[in-house]
């Protein structure tokens, strides 16, 4: 997830790193299960196109007062200067880019009262692909309780803990990251909920992620 880094200095770096903490890396195929010898696999729903995902994103009207939408600038950086050390699973994922992780993607981001951020990504693919890659992605991010992230020349210590998830959709994943920034500790929560062939991911201030995930999932189409 890319979150704009324009705005006050208090959350600029945290907002940029928030993008890296969600899908700032790519992954391989989904988990495979044992095939039943005489069972014909059911046809899976096809992925939605990017144009169909955009209307499903959260808006200022969904969020309420105090939120400002951040406009993405074309040709912005892709966090090429951000690297991870001390966590083999994340280092392995970071060897390739994020853009083709799923078949389709749409994203948006907001600031809240100028000192907190909330970013959203919608991804669509076949349910088995979404499930397998989400498990791999969140598994990698929660595989190391601590690691170091370098943004440019600034080393940042990151602590990660698994988080509770709400009973929404078909699958849920969440973790919380505490980053020791030069300006002080910043806590960010990343949560994903898969509903059929669409997954919604929210990342940002923990209270904002918890507050708006139900609304975000409610905008997704019925399972099909």
Report, as ranges of residue numbers, the positions in the chain whose pLDDT lies below 70: 1-42, 72-81, 95-100, 223-224
Q: Against a cut of 0.75, is the pTM above it?
A: yes
Q: Is 7 helix (H, G, I), strand (E, B) or coil?
A: coil
- For residue 26, what pLDDT is reported? 35
Q: Where are the domains of the chain?
A: 12-26+47-218
The answer to whether the CB of 104 falls within 8 A of the CB of 48 is yes
Residues 53-104 pLDDT 10s: 999 999 999 999 999 999 865 544 545 567 889 999 988 887 544 446 899 9
Q: 115 exposed, middle or buried (CB, 10 Å; 0-12, 13-18, 19+)? A: exposed
Look at residue 202 in the predicted model and tell me its pLDDT: 97
* Max CA pair span of the chain: 60
CA-based R_g, the chain, Å: 17
Give, rounded to a whole angstrom, the gap between the first and last alpha carbons of the chain.
26
Chain centre distance of CA 86 = 21
Residue 157 DSSP label = E
Question: What fold is seen in the domain 12-26+47-218?
Answer: Protein Transport Mog1p; Chain A (3.40.1000)
Burial 37-68 (b: 16+ CB within 10 A, else e): eeeeeeeeeebbeeeebeebbbeeeebeeebe
């Amino acid at each position: 997830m890319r979150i704009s880094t324009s705005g006050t200095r208090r959350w600029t770096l945290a907002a940029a790193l928030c993008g890296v903490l969600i899908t700032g890396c790519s992954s391989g195929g989904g988990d495979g299960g044992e095939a039943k010898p005489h069972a014909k696999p059911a046809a899976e729903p096809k992925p939605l196109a990017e144009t169909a995902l955009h209307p499903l994103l959260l808006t200022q009207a969904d969020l309420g007062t105090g939120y400002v939408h951040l406009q993405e600038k074309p040709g912005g950086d892709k966090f090429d200067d951000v690297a991870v050390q001390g966590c083999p699973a994340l280092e392995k994922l970071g060897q390739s880019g994020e853009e083709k992780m799923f078949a389709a993607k749409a994203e948006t981001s907001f600031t809240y009262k100028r000192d907190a951020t909330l970013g959203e990504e919608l991804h669509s693919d076949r349910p088995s692909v979404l499930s397998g890659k989400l498990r791999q992605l969140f598994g990698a991010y929660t595989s190391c309780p601590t690691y170091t992230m370098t943004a440019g020349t600034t080393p940042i210590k990151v602590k990660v803990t698994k988080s509770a998830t709400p009973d929404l959709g078909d699958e849920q994943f969440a973790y919380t990251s505490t980053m020791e920034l030069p300006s002080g500790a910043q806590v960010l929560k990343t949560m994903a909920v898969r509903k059929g062939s669409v997954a919604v991911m929210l990342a940002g201030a923990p209270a904002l992620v918890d507050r708006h995930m139900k609304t975000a999932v409610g905008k997704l189409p019925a399972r099909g």
